[in-house]
Amino acid sequence: MTLQNVLVIGNGGREFAIAKKLKQSPKVDHVYCAPGNVGMPTVGVEPVAIEELDFAGLIKFAQEHQVAWTFVGPEDALVAGIVDEFQTAGLKIFGPNARAAQLEGSKEYALSFMNKYGVPTAKHLAFENEAEALTHVADFGFPVVLKLDGLAGGKGVVIASDQADAKATIKEMFADHTGRLVIEECLVGPEYSMFVLIENGDYQILPMAQDHKRAYDGDKGPNTGGMGA
């Protein structure tokens, strides 16, 4: 059996865990991670000094090092089209293409997609400016969910408890970020993530996970990029 070389894209804890697990596979020889982090060599993974959005550099590396396939961690690389670029170069890569990645890259797009195909979701509206958002936020009742439309490192969602909290958050979001703001009714209950592999009309459901995002004990405080799952 020929052992494979694998490339992982990203530099966080998620990519560390994935690269470590791949390195344990009897089918894998070398595992590279671009750009990787200082912990990677402790589990036999080789960091590569190429940034995750340098698609030309990553493709060249994969070709020169006989990489059998590439795994992508960061959402921004997926939204920017890394899968499309690798496939155009004739390289195998695991992840959604740029069009499919918009389900993660734009909350407004994802909500519109769900409405179009009859997927149940919360009542919502998107706003281009602060004044419109402030005018309509009370229509949703409180608590209310405020979401930056684009990627925000897992920290673009705030649950505002009252009018004053919502007003301050809306002002802060429009001051610090460009793009639209989604206001959404607050649905109370457990939240899970389901992962499904899809290929040629077939699918495989993977185990579900629950992300613990709040900064403090007891599910309190602002959302973080992820405090474990």
CA–CA distance, 18 with 38 (Å, rounded to integer): 15
Look up the CATH number of the domain holding residue 161: 3.30.1490.20
Q: What are phi and psi of 170, to 5 degrees?
A: -60, -45
226 and 136 within one domain:
no
Q: Quick check: 214 pLDDT over 90?
A: no
217 and 138 within one domain:
no
CA–CA distance, 196 with 202 (Å, rounded to integer): 10
| Per-residue pLDDT band at 225 (split at 50, 70, 90) | confident
CA–CA distance, 55 with 146 (Å, rounded to integer): 33
99 and 133 within one domain:
no
At which of 103, 137, 169 does a domain end? 103
196 and 151 within one domain:
no
More confident residue, 195 or 54: 54
Tell me, what's the pLDDT at 41? 98
Q: Quick check: 229 pLDDT over 80?
A: no
Q: Which domain holds residue 214?
A: 189-229
179 and 137 within one domain:
yes
124 and 61 within one domain:
no
pLDDT tens-digit readout, 107-118: 999 999 999 999
147 and 82 within one domain:
no
Q: Quick check: 227 pLDDT over 80?
A: no
87 and 12 within one domain:
yes
Q: How many domains does the chain have?
A: 3
- Of 50-54, 158-162, 199-203, 217-221, the one with minimum mean pLDDT is 217-221
155 and 77 within one domain:
no
Look up the CATH number of the domain holding residue 80: 3.40.50.20
Q: Give whichever of 97-101, 157-161, 194-198, 210-214 has the largest mean pLDDT.
A: 97-101
More confident residue, 130 or 224: 130
pLDDT tens-digit readout, 19-62: 999 999 999 999 999 999 999 999 999 999 999 999 999 999 99
176 and 211 within one domain:
no
At which of 46, 70, 103 does a domain end? 103
Q: Quick check: 199 pLDDT over 70?
A: yes
What is the DSSP annotation of 186-220? PPPS---B--EEEETTEEEEPPPB----EEETTTE
Using alpha carbons, select from 139, 137, 180, 132 the residue that is nearest to residue 156: 180
